[in-house]
């Protein structure tokens, strides 16, 4: 069974006209997952994350800044790329809360996986800063919740967004209970994630040059990232699922297709089945060509259903 976590509040976060991280992104994903072939998805309304859950990875000043912001209708700009609207704090709470709730469900329901169709995305948010369209680091909040509440000893975070998850690396770079692995284009925003960034042996960064296609992408996963993940034997697999490495995406220059997201989805299912009692939770990150975002998500979620 695959659970689909989302919430209407995530559609109300509005960074403004012309912003790439628009409500239309989530609308496209939800419409694509509303086909008959996905009737088996168990649809769940995402709860809010609690302040205590957020404070496990974000400092108190940052949490207060987001939750107590009073943006005008025209928006509150936190940095060059990151904008809050009046509905943004609620959306951010639901986005983080979705991944936390999915983790709780994975700990109690055998043979259950989850996809969190939420926004704003999260993997650029550091412990103290909103950036790169991200307010709270949704996957990091859920990983910390798993470590603290469920006494999980080994959490893998897999990030295939085209942009490096600098926030996730910032939060867990010295936490050996978390293995963070990432493929991402380099050079590209935010300029982090070099191969030499290894943390305390718990970071595996695989930067890819512009133009990288399916063959090279799969080779990196087969030869470097998947062996490290299996050696780590995670008890929970969390995925930062960005679909902006697709060849149609306007914000990057990698050359992946839907078949690559299906391929990687199959391998995430196998990883979770092999070591984590099927505990696999993916959360939406980037993807800015609406058709490619929708089709990439469909491919990945179908792999979760079929596995």
Active site residues: 124
Q: What residue has token string 């990983």?
A: 143
Tell me the three state secondary structure of residue 12: coil
Any idea of the CA torsion for 49, 53, 59, 61, to the nearest 10 degrees? 40
CA distance 27 to 23: 6
- Write the DSSP string, 264-291: HHHHHHHHHHHHSTT-EEEEE----SHH
Residues contacting residue 116 through CB under 8 Å, at least 6 positions apart = 4, 5, 6, 46, 95, 98, 99, 102, 138, 281, 282, 283, 284
Task: For residue 120, say if its preceding peptide bond is cis, omega within 30 degrees of 0.
Answer: yes
CA distance 146 to 152: 6
Tell me the three state secondary structure of residue 296: helix
């Amino acid at each position: 069974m695959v659970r689909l976590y989302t919430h209407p509040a995530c559609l109300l976060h509005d960074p403004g006209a012309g912003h790439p991280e628009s409500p239309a992104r989530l609308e496209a994903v939800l419409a694509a997952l509303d086909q008959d072939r996905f009737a088996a998805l168990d649809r769940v309304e995402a709860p809010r994350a609690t302040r205590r859950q957020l404070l496990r990875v974000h400092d108190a000043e940052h949490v207060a800044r987001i939750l107590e912001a009073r943006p005008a209708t025209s928006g509150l700009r936190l940095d060059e790329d990151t904008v809050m609207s009046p509905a943004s704090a609620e959306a951010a709470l639901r986005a983080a809360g979705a991944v936390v709730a999915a983790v709780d469900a994975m700990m109690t329901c055998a043979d259950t996986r989850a996809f969190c169709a939420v926004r704003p995305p999260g993997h650029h948010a550091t412990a103290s800063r909103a950036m790169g369209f991200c307010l709270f680091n949704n996957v990091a909040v859920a990983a910390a919740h798993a470590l603290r509440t469920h006494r999980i000893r080994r959490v893998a975070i897999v990030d295939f967004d085209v942009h490096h998850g600098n926030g996730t690396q910032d939060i867990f770079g010295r936490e050996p209970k978390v293995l963070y692995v990432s493929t991402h284009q380099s050079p590209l925003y935010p300029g982090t994630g070099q191969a030499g960034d290894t943390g305390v042996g718990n970071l595996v960064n695989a930067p890819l040059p512009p133009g990288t296609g399916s063959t090279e992408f799969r080779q990196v996963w087969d030869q470097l990232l998947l062996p490290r993940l299996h050696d780590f034997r995670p008890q929970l697999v969390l995925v930062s699922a960005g679909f902006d490495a697709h060849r149609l995406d306007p914000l990057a220059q990698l050359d992946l297709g839907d078949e690559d997201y299906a391929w990687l989805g199959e391998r995430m299912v196998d990883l979770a089945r092999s070591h984590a009692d099927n505990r696999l939770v993916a959360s939406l990150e980037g993807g800015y060509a609406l058709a490619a975002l929708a089709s990439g998500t469909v491919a990945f979620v179908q792999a979760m259903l079929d596995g």
